Structure 1
Amino acid sequence: MTVHGPVMPIWSCGGCGLPWPCTTRKRELRAEYADAPVSLALYLGSYLVQATEDMQWTPAGVLHRRFLGWTRDAAQSNPAVPQPVQPARAEP
């Protein structure tokens, strides 16, 4: 169990005091959901909804980047579906 959970309604990290999810929690979540990037996005999306209600003064784009924007990097570095390899073209 992590100590880097959210402190609501201010959404700071209970472990380090940084905005949640902090760097440590992001690293933990990437490892925990390494094979399930969609599940990670759904999990964080539920927190995004709660944070939007708690921090109504914060622009939606800021909250989106904070809660979901960083997950794209994790999904791209570990794609759920391997990309097909293109065959080499023969030289004419």
Structure 2
Amino acid sequence: MSRNVSDDRAAVPRRPHLPLRPLWLCRVCAAPWPCPVARLALRQEYAHDRIALSIYLCTILHDAAADLYRLNPHDGPDPKALYMRFLAWATPRGDPP
């Protein structure tokens, strides 16, 4: 009995793309977290509760800002860049108010 490629992929557990604190880099791909894979996973996880996703991301933004400022207090994190990184991508587009 031969196994096809898709069976092999399903058997390999995927590592979640979680943040490495206090650097806020992805533990898997080393991209700034939330990386594209983490964003997709969060959108799927919170697909039916966008308000909860926004609250979660605001909390994470707060933690990241504190950690990143602690690492580099002289050139602290740029608020606009943090907003774009943690919140802007999750803002619903084209939804009625």
TM-score by length of 2: 0.73
* Per-residue deviation, 1:35: 1.1
> Over aligned residues, Cα RMSD in angstroms?
1.6
Q: What residue is the counterpart of 2:39 in the other structure? A: 26
Which among 30, 36, 51 is matched to residue 64 of structure 2?
51
Give runs of ≥4 in structure 1 deviating > 2 Å.
Answer: none
Gaps of 5+ in 2: 1-13, 70-75
Q: Matched residue of 1:17: which SS?
A: coil
Deviation per CA, 1:57-90: give whole Å up to 9, x if none.
1111110110001001xx236x4xxx5xxxxxxx
Q: Matched residue of 1:64: which SS?
A: helix
Q: What residue is the counterpart of 2:88 in the other structure? A: 69
Gaps of 5+ in 1: 84-92
| % identical equivalent positions | 34
Are residues 25 and 36 of structure 1, via their aligned partners in 2, closer, same or farther at CA, if it must alter by over 3 Å?
same
> CA–CA distance in 1 between the matches of 2:84 and 2:42?
16
> CA–CA distance in 2 between the matches of 1:38 and 1:11?
23
> CA–CA distance in 1 between the matches of 2:36 and 2:19?
13
Q: What residue is the counterpart of 1:86 in the other structure? A: none
Q: What residue is the counterpart of 1:3 in the other structure? A: 16
> CA–CA distance in 2 between the matches of 1:54 and 1:15?
20
